[in-house]
Every structure is written in structure tokens, then in C-alpha cells.
Structure 1
Amino acid sequence: MRIFLLEDDETLGFGIKAYLVNNGYDIVISKSLEEAKKNFTYDFNLILLDVNLPDGTGFDFLKIFNIESTPVIFLTVNDSEEDIVKGLNISDGYITKPFKLPILKAKIESVLRRVDGVEEKLNYKGLVLDEKN
């Protein structure tokens, strides 16, 4: 499973990537909208978006790339009711920082199960057996 992570905090991005890679995911990180324009392709299974970026927002990312079928989870410090409702209305999840990595992993798995239907993969220590592929 390929995940695109748009996160400007390098330490947090490194931690998320390391944790998810250790759990069998392939992660591509960008730290800004400009960098995302160079790194993003439409073959990701899930997108994790920070709302606050140095050159825009995660909401801007969705407009630029016209994301329709790929699931999106927002990761942000923005915890106002207005921001959460806005985020949930256009995404599959909204997690406020700080959060625990096992909770993020559980949310990712929940969203992917719902999108992909019954999970047909076996994941063990980074080795993934995918019945479909």
C-alpha cells in the first residue's frame, strides 16, 4: 500500500514514515505544496494531509490535484469545530495533533478496509502478500 504524506514538520514526518514503513506501507513525503507538485502521482492508495503548510493548506492540495477517489485523512493541530467539520466533509478522517501512531495506523486500516472491501493481504514484518496483485 502506497501512502502520500504531506507534512511540513520534518520530525513528525520522519516518525510517521518510520512507523508506517515498519508496518508494511510504502510512504512518500512532501513538506510543501511546491514539493507535492513534484512528488505526487495518482497511484497512491491513501493521502495523509497536514492542514497548515508553509505555502498553503491541505485543502489547497485537494483543489490543485482534484482528488476524488483516493481516501484522504487530515492530520492537523487545527481543532476548532469549524475546521473539523470542514475537514470531515471533504475527507475520510480528521485526526488532531498530537496523536499516537497506533491510532493513526488503526484509522488508516479502517479507511482502507472500507475502500477496498475485505482485506486480502497478509502482512508480516514488512513482507506483504497481496492476493489481488
Structure 2
Amino acid sequence: MVGAELLPNASAMSAAYFNAARVVGPAVAGLLISHLNVATVIVINAVSYLATVLSVLAMRPGELYRAAVRPRAAKIADGLRYTVRRPDLMRPIFLTGVLGLVGFNFQLTLPLLAKTEFHADSASFGLLSRWRWARWARRW
């Protein structure tokens, strides 16, 4: 959608939006559930996706960036061979894999931990989720 000169900015914005949604979303949902009911919060979440759908519908394909020359079709095996030969790439990929397996699953286990171990309601879960991210951010 953007040219090569804006690609790093677009990638950074995408990562920032994704991580901000992971931090703010559960906390806001927990607080909203405590004031409203679960069904209402699910409807609000569903309606929020309309912005994405409308944005995609508003795109004009003729104005999108297109590469002048398409590179030859690379295969997945080519990328894997290249990566395995580079130890400087293998370390961050391994670290990202471990963090992805452990860190992303924490969002699935935190609600269970809040309910079964702490016997917390939705508002407490929202605060617990917010506290966890605020504590992590202070370390960095």
C-alpha cells in the first residue's frame, strides 16, 4: 500500500497499533464489563470492526503503490535456507519464537488465573491486565 521509502514507517505504525491494542483492549474490556454486561461489550467490539471494513471499502485500488518490476517468485525453502546459514538471524528468530509461544499465551491464561486463583471479577481482571503491562513498561 505504500512505497519502499515509507515501508519502515508503515511497519512501525502497524506494530505500535497491534501492541497498543493488546495492552489497552483487555483493560478497557474488563472495566466496561463491570459497568455493562458481557453481551453489550461484545456488540461494542463488533461495531468497532466496522471502521476497518469501511476503510478497506474506501480504498481506491488504482491509487495503491505497485512495484514496477515484480521479482521472481521466491519460495519458502529459499528463505529458510538463507536464514539457517545466518547465525545472526537465527538468534532473534529463536528468541521471537520463544517469546511468541510464552508471551502471547499469557493473555489466554491471565483470565483463568484471575478467576480461579484470585477469585476476581471482570473489573479486577481489567486492572490486573493493566497493572501487568504498566509494570513491564517501567522496566524498559
TM-score tier (shorter): under 0.3
Larger radius of gyration: 2
- Which has a greater percent of strand? 1
- Which has a greater percent of helix? 2
